[in-house]
Chains A and B, each alone.
Chain A
Amino acid sequence: MTPNDLDLRWGLMVPELLVLLAGVLVLLVDTTVKAPDQDRRGIQTGISTLACLAAAGYTAVVLGSTSGTRTGFGELFVVDGLAVWFKSVVLLSAALASLMSERWLRNHRLTSGGFIALLLFSTAGMLYMVSAADLVMLFLGLEIMSIPLYVLAASERRNARAVEAGLKYLVLGSLATGFLLFGISLLYGFTGLMGQPSTCIADVVAAVLRSAPDVPALAVGGGILLFVGMVFKVGAVPFHMWTPDVYEGSPMSITAFMSVAVKATAFAAILRVFGGSGVLEALRLHDLLFALCALTMVVGNVAALAQSSVKRMLAWSSVAHAGYILLGVLAGTQDGLAAVLFYSLGYAAMNIAAFGVLVHLSEKGHEVERLDQLRGIATRVPLQAAILAVSMLSLMGMPPLVGFWGKLYIFRAVVFADFPGHIAIAVLGVLMSAVSAYYYLRVVVVSYMSDATAPAPAHRPSFGNGLATATAAALTVLIGLAPGAFLALARDSAESLRASSAAVAPAVDASTATAVAVSPQPPRR
């Protein structure tokens, strides 16, 4: 095979290569530059932020300028609207997370080389996973995303909670990866694709659709296992057990990054594999997903009610939000998919803003996590209190913030979708987001309407964290003010998904036609 057969379109892979190069550069700086830790932290987080922003800019401007699906590298790597959208979300979150990390690392007097490099590698894994046109690429992307995060979750090595977080994430994450891998092998085996010249996701999907509704039981099993592996990363109930502990024990910036970017990536992968029309039904996943959505929304919101730690509350709230986003996948309509894209971006903005404020308030040995630590911050740090209030209101779904529009689009798509029980689950979603008002508003009330009990620690504000928080908060408000433009963009991006499944569809029609013509008999092995 020569380079020409492989179709090496390097232009498509620029964001990944930029991020990887930045990671290697950070390692180089770490091993060669002789400077105080303080300066090195600045240099390394700077490199990381700039690289992620540059990659995000390239993705949005250059790759996003031409619509349509482009594949390259042996048809294993795809850049379409879906990839452009989720890559932008991931890269933006990575840039903001690196800005936030500087402060956390300084508080804990840690050097930043390994930390930032792992963050960048994880980001690169996410980018590869979002662009995967083949299940093998998808699996590798997932691993490259996850393994640095297992390590990063345990960054605070001396802290038992952090070690617990890392270990729990590693063990349960590996189990989920095992499910995913087993699912992939079953799908390949029972769709008869092994040894074929082309084994892309589109081929697997086409093979499944071709045999619907009589998909072999083990192919269905494979599809379910693959789905479970992905849903684990989203943190949907009952695959959420790791979420509160891992989010609580990890460094604040990594928690923000995980809750936002990992989720977005997993949703991109779910849409890539199961987003085509009829795939969920063919693999008999629709009812499962229905139950999953209902459970996730209920358990996430109810458990969040009982939390006294803000970090833990945000962890459970991220479970609840995963439930809302999954509703869009469940709807499966064009509107539903567009709403998933929109919500992923909006959730990234508001959640990073919330965590940014917590990072701002934290000092070494004085991590702000409990609710009562937020007492009276409105008088002490009015700007941060306002940002926290905005992000909480947005997470709750207060118009005109981005969270409101996200929920509106999701619920609207579900109401207009066509499956049994769609009204019921939409009502459940609305009810549950009414429940969530209690725990989100509690944060606002505590920070505005009660006096500080303990003297505040002296603050050394961080430029990076301030910038990240301000950016995220600005996005929360701006997208909320002009939701139409972003929804239109999301709709265009989701269009590519339908376009690619439409490209499969004629082939499906033709092959079912021949299958009908040829065989009343069952297909033979």
Chain B
Amino acid sequence: MVEQHNHYLPVLALVVAAFGVAAAMLGINALLGPKRRAADGPAVKLEPFECGSVPIQLDNRRRVSVKFYLVAILFVMFDLEVVLLYPWAVVYRDLGWFGFAELLAFMLSVVVGLAYAWRKGGLEWR
């Protein structure tokens, strides 16, 4: 069932490296950085630091604009479209012109959608 997949080794190496770098950054900081418990020092350590002035707003979470909604949906749509090109790209030499025509037909209808979204101002920030 489980095949030989040495060709995935670079991916694994990349994952290990990525996690390793992140872990190293946090770990070395924790290891080498000065540590002083807040309870011992002045309470000011727990306050947010804002260039010496009194902080205006402690909770800086804010709702994201709903304008991103259309961007997000359009991204998902075109992402799906692009992903479906991948199997075509792998076999397009075998398929020849017929496969090319199939892909053109597929793209055409998605391009109509793009043109419509564009003309309707779906790509503008407003």
Contact = CB atoms under 8 A, between A and B. Distances in A.
B116 A27 contact: yes
B98 A31 contact: no
A24 B98 contact: no
A2 interface: yes
Interface string A1-22: 1110000000000000000000
Interface string A441-462: 0000000000000000000000
A2 B98 CA distance: 7
B75 to A, nearest CB: 17
Interface string B98-126: 10000000000100100110011000000
| Interface range, A side | under 10
A107 B46 CA distance: 60
A31 B118 CA distance: 10
A217 B97 CA distance: 46
Contacts, number: 14
Nearest to A4: B98
B123 to A, nearest CB: 13
Main secondary structure of the interface of B (DSSP, over half): helix
A1 to B, nearest CB: 8
Contacts of A1: 95, 98
Contacts of A2: 98
A1 B119 CA distance: 38
B72 to A, nearest CB: 16
Contacts of A31: 115-116, 119-120
A27 B112 contact: yes
A3 B98 contact: yes
A24 B116 CA distance: 10
Contacts of A24: 109, 112
Contacts of A30: 116, 120
Contacts of B109: 24
Contacts of B120: 30-31
Interface in B8-56: none
A203 B120 CA distance: 46
Nearest to B119: A31
A494 to B, nearest CB: 34
Nearest to A111: B120
14 contacts: A1-B95, A1-B98, A2-B98, A3-B98, A24-B109, A24-B112, A27-B112, A27-B116, A30-B116, A30-B120, A31-B115, A31-B116, A31-B119, A31-B120
Interface of A: 1-3, 24, 27, 30-31
The 9 closest A-B pairs by CB, nearest first: A31-B119, A27-B116, A24-B112, A3-B98, A31-B116, A2-B98, A27-B112, A31-B120, A31-B115
